Structure 1
Amino acid sequence: MPTGVAIRDAREQLFDAAERVLLRDGPDALTSRAVTTEAGCAKGVLHKHFTDFDGFLAELVLDRIRRLDDQAEVLLKAAGQGSVADNLTTMLTDLFGSVAVAIVSLTISRDGLRARLREAVPTGVPILSDAGRVVMDYLTAEQKYGRIPADADLNTLGLTLIGSTHLLFADRTGVRPTYDEVRRFVSSVVPE
């Protein structure tokens, strides 16, 4: 792209390009050159909007974490309706079928990125901790509806759902678990 040509929504264009590279080629292939090539822009565009590449990656991760708010809203609205296992399966399959697994790999593989993210997300693994919060809020709502036993340990239940579902999806190059496979796991864990 020639110098001086304006790019609309450069941040989002760069984030989307990074997500495509991450999903297609994995965290090792994610470089500033790969992102700008995928976005169809000059490398300087990235550095115009971000202090450095780890700063860009931190903003990407935080942006994708913020997108969980939409899933949280949908899941909370489903409380008291349908099947608890179906509601959780849909949320978990959508979450881990997206860029979340790749973001976990990216975060684990880059020390500079983890250091930046610690400022915003001081504990846990970014995106997994946030997804855990979404699941916990939903389980709490379902407990109020009486659809989860009052004596259920929601913390253990939430951690089990997030951690185990992440493991089901962790191999980004392997066969993805089906909705039914995830549903069987969730229904084996969630007391209804």
Structure 2
Amino acid sequence: MKQKIMLQAQKEIFKTGFRFTMADIARECGISTKTIYEWYASKEELILEMVQQATTEIKEREQSIIRDPKLGTMDKLKALLVLLPEDFHYFDVKRLYELQRYHTKVWSVLNSFIEEQWDGVARIVAEGQAEGLLEKFNTAVFIQMYIGGLHRLMEQAQAKPAGLTLSEALHEMVDILLDGIRKR
């Protein structure tokens, strides 16, 4: 039942954003609101669990990418920089802005993850530099540019929706960042 509730919440977020109600989920699941509250004390708790599952998935997939012997260093770097949970490839960028604005505690958890989860990228960048595939550059500045770019994409998506999915936006941003640092 818990998974069913979470999947329906995810559908609601994709469809209408974070303004769904627990009653909306109950109706779509064919259960009572009371049943939902037996599993989740609040909407915030439900969304937080979704974010925690997403970050766990990202960590697991990051390790898989890093250990994949079939991928070259540049392929690994790009894969890490555009890594999203499997179900989030069609997630609209403006949903991140909504999360930040309306669910600040959950956003704080996600934002901490975004700002701190860079060891794998730093390791692959160092490998790329050692292999002569990447110029020497300040990795910390590169990471801050990425994070700043992501934040700016969120703000712009809310102000002027471009209809970009999070996946599309990350691919565009990463292509620009990598082509700017790749040795010619």
TM-score by length of 2: 0.69
1:128–1:162 contact (8 Å) kept in structure 2: no
RMSD across aligned positions (CA): 3.5
- Identical-pair percentage: 12
1:32–1:53 contact (8 Å) kept in structure 2: yes
- Structure 2: how far apart are the matches of 1:126 and 1:87? 26
Aligned to 1:87: 76
**C-alpha offsets along residues 80-124 of structure 1, whole Å, 9 cap, x if unaligned?**
94252x4344344442735484663343222xx434x4xxxxxx8
1:138 aligns with 2:127: no
Q: CA deviation at 1:142?
A: 3.6
Aligned to 2:44: 54
1:11–1:49 contact (8 Å) kept in structure 2: yes
Aligned to 2:140: 155
Q: Structure 1 stretches of 5 or more lacking a match?
A: 1-9, 118-123
> Which has the higher mean CA deviation after the structures are superposed, 163-172 or 13-22?
163-172
1:175 aligns with 2:160: no
1:33 aligns with 2:27: no
In structure 1, the residue corresponding to 2:109 is in which secondary structure?
Answer: coil
Q: How many aligned residue pairs are there? A: 172
Q: CA deviation at 1:77?
A: 2.1
Aligned to 1:107: 99
1:97 aligns with 2:89: yes
Q: 1:143 to 1:93 in 2, by over 3 A?
A: closer
Q: 1:88 to 1:140 in 2, by over 3 A?
A: closer
1:21–1:38 contact (8 Å) kept in structure 2: no
- Structure 2: how far apart are the matches of 1:141 and 1:89? 10
Q: Where is the helix percentage greater, Structure 1 or Structure 2? A: 2
1:13 aligns with 2:10: no
Q: CA deviation at 1:150?
A: 8.5
What is the identity, as a one-letter code, of the residue corresponding to 1:20? K
1:43 aligns with 2:33: yes
Q: 1:76 to 1:109 in 2, by over 3 A?
A: same
**C-alpha offsets along residues 133-169 of structure 1, whole Å, 9 cap, x if unaligned?**
4444222244046147685322221222243246457
Q: CA deviation at 1:49?
A: 1.0
What is the identity, as a one-letter code, of the residue corresponding to 1:114? T
1:107–1:114 contact (8 Å) kept in structure 2: yes
What is the identity, as a one-letter code, of the residue corresponding to 1:156? V
